[in-house]
A and B are shown apart, each in its own frame.
Chain A
Amino acid sequence: MQLKAQYHAFTTILIKEFMRFIRIWVQTVLPAGITMALYFIIFGNLIGSQLADVHGQRYIDYIVPGIILMAVINNSYANVVSSFFSAKFQRHVEEMLVSPMPNYLILSGFVAGGVARGLVVGAVVTVVASFFVDLHFYSFGLTVLVLLMTAILFALAGFINAVYAKTFDDISIIPTFVLTPLTYLGGVFYSIDMLPRFWQSLSLGNPILYMVNAMRYGMLGVADINVFTAISIILSFVVGLFLFALWLLNRGIGVRS
């Protein structure tokens, strides 16, 4: 396919994916806004006001970056896993498979759709947050970069989940049993300095910890982890998952018999 044709094919998927989640915004955008508002009220205001500062930050300020990131993670993932699985399930993924679109373009299209939802929801949560705290950006560029890379990473992960999924149950197992625990243990609500040594080292094996800290650095300028290390780790995950997802698609796993 020529470059121009590739552009048309890519935007076709992206627009279609974008319209899909916008059309059902009550299910896709609103819930995160409400849940995150609850976090701010309960952990931020009610409980947070009783707590001491963390790394020189008020507790509510400290948790804002992680909460925004959590919304982005959940939504990028959810968008791709449900959209690609339903394309498989209803078999309209075949519309793309018979077309001359190269596989990396199909993958990029779905990932872009997931990133779009992650960022839209991230923006909504940020607006919600602004009602509770004065938002600061230590480095706006870094914040956006971390959000974007995290969204890509989890959109890819959602895609891989959908490739292997055979039933609707399979698309909620990973988010429930892997994603949510890792996010909560990824230092959204605490600094790993507060943990015993053993749990501190264990936490370093959790990739989400690096994203939360990079994001916190972008907004507040404080982090448990070196930002450069964090960005490198996120980037390697993105590259690794992209190559793996592409390999799955090239082999036709889950989509071709």
Chain B
Amino acid sequence: MSLALSISELRKTYKSGVEALRGVQLEVKEGDFFALLGPNGAGKSTTIGIICSLVNKTSGKVTVFGHDIDLELEAAKTCIGLVPQEFNFNQFEPVFEIVVNQAGYYGIDRATASVRAEKYLKQLGLWDKRREMARELSGGMKRRLMIARALVHEPRLLILDEPTAGVDIEIRRSMWKFLREINEQGTTIILTTHYLEEAENLCKHIAIIDNGLTIESTEMRDLLRRLQQETFVFNSREAVSGMPSIAEYAVRKIDAQTFEVDVDKRQSLNELFSAFSAQGIHIDSMRNKSNRLEELFVRLTEEGKINAA
């Protein structure tokens, strides 16, 4: 399958002297749903800025669907739709105009642009707001406006920089559904987010950037498989006095009705449940202590800090 995006040895040093990227490598296959993760200041937005020519790179190579941004910039730009991290529309322009004008900048005639603007504003639940000034929208609506704007020229690659920041649960779910649909229809998607369950839910591939370097780039499944141990939280129906003795498992009692257990990959939950039963403890509910991807993420970026030190 061909590559939607390929980045090699990408470096960026800002005028302030900050070395934001120190050799980022990325490959995103066509049709992928790709998560680009990393802590604050890792260099995600800088990378995206360079791909979309909002930031000048210091060195390195970027190709979008085979078009090198140094040689075939126009062709590369035509393939990309960008939803940036910060709001960057004219606050005093009506919603409909923002979307139609964006199509215009891509060379689309006004009639076609209007039809498409209607389609995407409806899909994103903003059609009723089309005549309002952008600044009159709520934060979540502004995010959706930027998604509609990014789609109006029907790009093959959609890049979303924290599209769900500050968006409520219901809208976030509907955004996920929407993004999944357009991904299924063939649009390649790259997404950055700090909500790791979002990445786990949506994405097939994942890359982690830390300190301007790619520290991981793999399939989501493979990454999760690497998790050696998970921590579960159990709630018992009645208060338990004393400490249950379950030899093979590391059990911690949090309060009379709550236990935390570290479960190794080789161990089975069945035996753990039997052991609880044998002690006369009825388990009401159970959950992961934290999101699985989150545990991995923290571990990987911690390692980075240790290595750097």
A residues touching B (Cβ–Cβ < 8 Å)?
1-2, 4-6, 8-9, 11-13, 16, 87, 90-92, 94-102, 252, 256-257
Contact = CB atoms under 8 A, between A and B. Distances in A.
Contacts of A90: 88-91
Contacts of B93: 92
Contacts of B78: 100
B107 A8 contact: yes
Contacts of B101: 12, 16, 95
Interface of B: 14-15, 49, 52-56, 73-75, 77-78, 80, 82, 84, 86-91, 93, 97, 101-102, 104-110, 149
A49 B53 CA distance: 60
A199 to B, nearest CB: 44
A97 B69 CA distance: 13
Contacts of A4: 107
B107 A11 contact: no
A19 to B, nearest CB: 9
Contact of A1 (B14, B74, B82, B89): B74
Given A102-B74, A252-B56, A257-B55, A92 B89 contact: yes
A256 B107 contact: no
The list of the 8 closest CB pairs from A to B, nearest first, reads A5-B107, A12-B104, A99-B105, A91-B88, A100-B74, A100-B77, A92-B90, A94-B88
A257 B102 contact: no
Nearest to A106: B105
A8 B14 contact: no
Contact of A6 (B86, B107, B109): B107
Given A92-B89, A257-B14, A98 B77 contact: yes
A11 B104 contact: yes
A2 B53 contact: no
Given A9-B105, A92-B88, A257-B15, A97 B54 contact: yes
B88 A99 contact: no
Contacts of A12: 101, 104-105, 110
Contact of B84 (A11, A94, A102): A94
A99 B88 CA distance: 14
9 contacts: A1-B107, A9-B104, A13-B104, A87-B90, A90-B91, A94-B84, A97-B53, A98-B54, A256-B53
Given A8-B109, A8-B110, A99 B102 contact: yes
B104 A98 contact: no
Contacts of A16: 97, 101
A257 B48 CA distance: 13
A54 to B, nearest CB: 46
Contact of A95 (B56, B105, B107): B105
B89 A95 contact: yes
Contact of A99 (B75, B86, B89, B106): B106
Contacts of A257: 14-15, 49, 54-56
The residue among B15, B75, B77, B90 with the most chain A CB atoms within 10 A of its own CB is: B90
A183 B55 CA distance: 39
A101 B55 contact: no
Contact of B54 (A2, A5, A256): A256
Contacts of B52: 98
Nearest to B87: A91
Nearest to B88: A91
B107 A9 contact: yes
A113 B108 CA distance: 20
Given A5-B106, A9-B105, A87-B90, 8 more contacts: A5-B108, A8-B107, A13-B104, A13-B105, A90-B89, A96-B105, A98-B82, A100-B107
B104 A8 contact: yes
B154 to A, nearest CB: 13
Contact of A8 (B56, B88, B108): B108
A87 to B, nearest CB: 8
A22 to B, nearest CB: 14
B14 A100 contact: no
A96 B97 CA distance: 14
Nearest to A255: B54
Nearest to B159: A98
Contacts of B82: 98
Contacts of A6: 107
Nearest to A2: B107
